[in-house]
Amino acid sequence: MKHQPLDLSIKLGEYSYQIIQQNFQRIVEQEKAIFEDKDPEPLHQMRVGMRRLRTAIQVFGSAIVLPKAVSNPSIGKTAKSLGETRDLDVLQQELISRYQPLLDNTELLKFEKVLKRLQKKRDRSFLDLQKTLNGDRYYDLKQGIQSWLDQPRYTMIGDLVVREVLPDLLLPLICQLFLHQGWLVGTTIQLEKVTVIAIENSEELHQHLEKFVNALHDLRKQMKGIRYQAEFFSGFYEASYLERIEEFKAIQEILGQLHDREVLRQFLESTLNADLAQVLPTVNQTMEQEQITFWQNWQPIQQHYLSLEFRQSLRSLLSTPIDIAHA
């Protein structure tokens, strides 16, 4: 998220107000277009806004006093409803644009069955989403946020200057990220050293990723939260900090592609009640090649983030906001 030039002496409470207000506005601006359901983008934007709002409330939780209706669970339930419909939109788009053009006539007949089933599932999900957005929980959440924006309340922590507490806010998050087990997928630890394992056989790689897909997906979710939090404070750091944010985004996207493929495979096999290699061999072959490409792109990133030198440099960067760096 980009901000206008800011006062580097701004207090944590005041800054939290700006971030929460921006993301709340992003959410409510999408409502009309979502109900019209003519374009999938507003749903995507509202989902992102809701996630950023939840992240902001977590980051600034020690500095603000919110109404009871505004809580992580209340936001999470709304975000989950948005996410279920959005995920089906992504699946539908991937099937039609990525895989359908590759199929022969025999496979197309089976594929049409999948698309019809997916559309029915999406229709049901959208009805549930409409109920959620018209329901009391979402109404109370919006009213709670608006009432806080009208009359914000802060703790004593909110009087602290942002730049003075940035390392305390950001370093714990990065340390948690470094300790995530997802970085160790496809590695071995010998003589106190972590080594990345080369997996060249496509079937072996498929089995390996299938086994650890949940760990990698959880790493993606944590990376996404880190990215959002880092973006909140981009104005307080030099250009190298922005480079790290772009890197966070790239990692999030590459892990997201892996997860989307796995979800898609499960949906296809469940819908067709058969092994994908038997019923849609072209799709199966394409997915296996995509896994190989993922692994080739992932391992250099993995090695980079397992590097002690890189980890120390990132900790050092987060410990040095821009005014301190120029002192």
The per-residue pLDDT for 175 is 93
* Position 176 pLDDT exceeds 90: yes
How far is Cα 279 from Cα 284, in angstroms, rounded to an integer? 9
Same domain, 148 and 204: no
For residues 5-23, give the mean pLDDT: 91
For residues 89-113, give the mean pLDDT: 91
Exposure string for 210-229, b = 16+ CB within 10 A, e = fewer? eebbeebbebbbbbbbbbbb
The per-residue pLDDT for 4 is 54
Same domain, 145 and 169: no
Same domain, 16 and 65: yes
For residues 213-224, give the mean pLDDT: 93
State which residues form the domain around 54.
Answer: 1-160
The per-residue pLDDT for 200 is 74
Last residue of a domain, one of 102, 136, 160: 160
Same domain, 200 and 189: yes
Same domain, 155 and 201: no
Sequence-separated (6 or more) residues with CB below 8 Å from residue 253: none
* Position 216 pLDDT exceeds 70: yes
Q: pLDDT of 138-152, one tens digit each?
A: 999 999 999 999 999
Half-sphere exposure for 41 (CA within 13 Å, toward CB): 2
Sequence-separated (6 or more) residues with CB below 8 Å from residue 34: 42, 43, 46, 129, 133
Same domain, 131 and 25: yes
Q: pLDDT of 240-251, one tens digit each?
A: 999 999 999 999
* Position 154 pLDDT exceeds 70: yes
Cα–Cα distance list, 21 to 14, 29, 142, 198 (Å) = 11, 12, 12, 47
Same domain, 113 and 212: no
Half-sphere exposure for 71 (CA within 13 Å, toward CB): 7
pTM of the model: 0.88
Cα–Cα distance list, 15 to 12, 65, 166, 174 (Å) = 5, 14, 12, 21
The per-residue pLDDT for 92 is 93
The per-residue pLDDT for 114 is 92
The per-residue pLDDT for 223 is 95
The per-residue pLDDT for 207 is 84
The per-residue pLDDT for 327 is 45
* Position 292 pLDDT exceeds 50: yes
How far is Cα 58 from Cα 276, in angstroms, rounded to an integer? 41
With 0-12 CB in 10 A as exposed, 13-18 as middle and 19+ as buried, what is 10?
middle
pLDDT band at 72 (very low <50, low <70, confident <90, very high): confident
Same domain, 245 and 203: yes
CATH code of residue 111: 1.40.20.10
Q: What is the mean pLDDT of the chain?
A: 91
Last residue of a domain, one of 137, 160, 183: 160
Give percent above pLDDT 70 in the chain. Answer: 97
pLDDT band at 5 (very low <50, low <70, confident <90, very high): low
Q: In total, how many domains does the chain have?
A: 2
Q: Higher confidence at residue 293 or residue 7?
A: 293
Same domain, 272 and 316: yes
How far is Cα 323 from Cα 327, in angstroms, rounded to an integer? 6
Same domain, 83 and 166: no
Last residue of a domain, one of 160, 181, 198: 160
Same domain, 56 and 186: no
Sequence-separated (6 or more) residues with CB below 8 Å from residue 126: 37, 85
pLDDT band at 127 (very low <50, low <70, confident <90, very high): very high
Same domain, 26 and 134: yes
